[in-house]
Amino acid sequence: MGRDPESGVEASGSTPESRPTRETRMNERTDDTSERLRPPPAERFSGDIHDFDLSATLSELRREDHPAKDGHRQITIFRRAPVTHILFAFDPEGRLAEHSTAGLVTIHVLEGRLQVQADAVEHDLPAGRMLILSPGVPHDVRAVETSAMLLTVHLQDDDATT
């Protein structure tokens, strides 16, 4: 078994030799915007067992050479209907604009401090705190300082797709 350097995933049945390195992938990129920065989801999410090193994945995410959008970078580390796990790395004052989703949302702050406005209530979330929002609750996220969060979305059965 091998560990994907970008996602920190220990993928069943894969070996380090069978996956291109980040350097190889970056060297193979062209100006074509359809080229991927990371392996496609079908590769990242394959296998029956996934072991994540979130610290290593965050470090890799923060080193990516593309600019952060709205002060954050993100990677979907795992998706299998109806659950998606997304790791976010925020710069100070990075934000996610107000939005909602049809699924149950779990915001787990791993590093730093986030402020989440949900249903007109502000939640101050330092590292180690977790906030759970019911489906459809509008919310936005702002990083008070350099921060990281693991976002989990569990879609309703009728919305669960891969």
Q: Would residue 79 count as lying in a domain?
A: yes
> Which pLDDT does position 47 carry in this prediction?
85
DSSP state of 22: H
Residues 80 and 146 in one domain: yes
> Which pLDDT does position 150 carry in this prediction?
98
Count of beta carbons in the 10 Å neighbourhood of residue 53 = 16
> Which pLDDT does position 46 carry in this prediction?
86
Q: Which residues of the chain have pLDDT under 50?
A: 1-33, 159-160, 162
Output Rg (C-alpha) for the chain, integer angstroms.
Answer: 16
Residue 101 is part of which domain span? 70-162
> Which pLDDT does position 153 carry in this prediction?
98
Q: Would residue 57 count as lying in a domain?
A: no
Contacts of residue 127, defined as CB under 8 A and 6 or more positions apart, other chains included, come to 109, 110, 111, 112, 113, 147
Total structural domains within the chain: 2
DSSP state of 18: G
Q: Would residue 64 count as lying in a domain?
A: no
> Which pLDDT does position 27 carry in this prediction?
37
Q: CA-to-CA distance for 37 and 71, rounded, in angstroms?
A: 18
pTM: 0.72
